[in-house]
Amino acid sequence: MDLGLRDRVAVVAAASRGIGFATAMELAREGARVFLCSRNAENAAEAARKINAETGAEAVGIRADVTDERETHDFIAEVAARAGRIDVCVTNAGGPPASTALHTELETYRRAFELNALSAIRLARLTLPHMRQHRWGRIINITSVSVKQPIEGLVLSNAVRAGLTGWAKTLASEVAPDGITVNNVAPGYTLTERQTELAEARSQQTGKSKEEIIAQWAAQVPMRRLARPEEIAAAIVFLASERASYITGVTLQVDGGYVRSIF
């Protein structure tokens, strides 16, 4: 199936590893011109080199911290200057630390909101004018199944990502007449560096090994395994494509059946 992404210009945030990297790779495989960012310049450049070597597509790594307003602005400005347009924006950021509602300071909530809500809102606001100019665009936020089924011990993700989901639903209605779609992809447990870090944190809290924690998570999933980053990326790239032109305002969980609700 031709997804209609050849020569489209895509920006992918926090894409030097994990789901962000897998997404940038899949977009490149579809022929998109990919511009990715990371807080570490060397990691960003290395990720771009890997993508170019495997796909032959244009891939550019740029240092930018998506929680920093000036750096994010400069990142998008550089992409626009080099590519002449922006068609796809995939917002992404590392998850907030594990915590409980009773043991989380207000300042920690503020930092989590900056990381997992404002960073995405800022990226979308900066890329929207370029999409409106061509009356075509795709904004996809990488969130978490916690927006549909809160996860124990992850109060920051449960609270902040749900707020981003409400904002995205509102934006989707506002920009739909411009040919722009706005959707969220909500991964379940996925074998990334971030998930390993959470397993280690839970291990310290419970005294169980990291392997036992991961096995417990897998047991909660009907498929009895954690996702691969490439499986999440496939859903993101579909929503970025021409084939998803009538899908907007949705939150698609990619979770192996973890979420038990009907909707």
pLDDT in tens, the chain (263 residues): 789 999 999 999 999 999 999 999 999 999 999 999 999 999 999 999 999 999 999 999 999 999 999 999 999 999 999 999 999 999 999 888 888 999 999 999 999 999 999 999 999 999 999 999 999 999 999 999 999 999 888 999 999 999 999 999 999 999 999 999 999 999 999 988 878 887 888 888 888 888 888 898 899 999 999 999 999 999 999 999 999 999 999 999 999 999 998 87
Residues whose CB is less than 8 angstroms from the CB of residue 125 and which lie 6 or more positions away in sequence, other chains included: none
- Percent of the chain clearing pLDDT 70 (strictly above): 100
> Which residue is associated with the tokens 């904002």?
167
Angle at the Cα of 259 (from 206 to 254), degrees rounded to 5?
100
Cα-flanking dihedrals φ and ψ of residue 101, to 5°?
A: -60, -35
